[in-house]
């Protein structure tokens, strides 16, 4: 694969991770089915990144996925367990 194509694909994977983070943040907390779906969707960029870019690609995308989840976590953590 060409270096430019690999770079473009990596940025698309990052955009996918960011989109999942935004969906987590904008979806109300009581819609648990959607949050479970988003959580499972976040496995794909990590796996694809690990396959195409090796261990460091998978680790980088896993860290970015964790960071993309932080705004959602912060919003509902302060409310306590009754938020769900």
Name the pLDDT band for 56 (thresholds 50, 70, 90). very high
Q: By the 8 A CB rule, do 45 and 65 touch?
A: yes
Total domains in the fold of the chain:
1
* 43, two tokens: 């496995």
Whether residue 53 has pLDDT greater than 60:
yes
pTM of the model: 0.83
Could you list the residue range(s) of the whole structural domain that residue 59 is in?
14-21+33-83
Q: Between vectors from CA 77 to CA 64 and to CA 42, what angle results, nearest 5°?
A: 30
SS3 78: coil
- Whether 57 is in a domain gets the answer yes
- Whether 1 is in a domain gets the answer no
């Amino acid at each position: 694969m060409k270096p430019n194509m690999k770079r473009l694909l990596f940025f698309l994977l990052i955009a996918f991770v960011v989109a999942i983070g935004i969906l987590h943040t904008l979806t109300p907390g009581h819609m648990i089915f959607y949050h479970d779906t988003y959580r499972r969707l976040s496995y794909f960029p990590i796996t694809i990144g690990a396959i195409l870019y090796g261990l460091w690609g998978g680790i980088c995308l896993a860290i970015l996925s964790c960071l993309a989840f932080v705004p959602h976590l912060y919003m509902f953590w302060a409310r306590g367990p009754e938020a769900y």
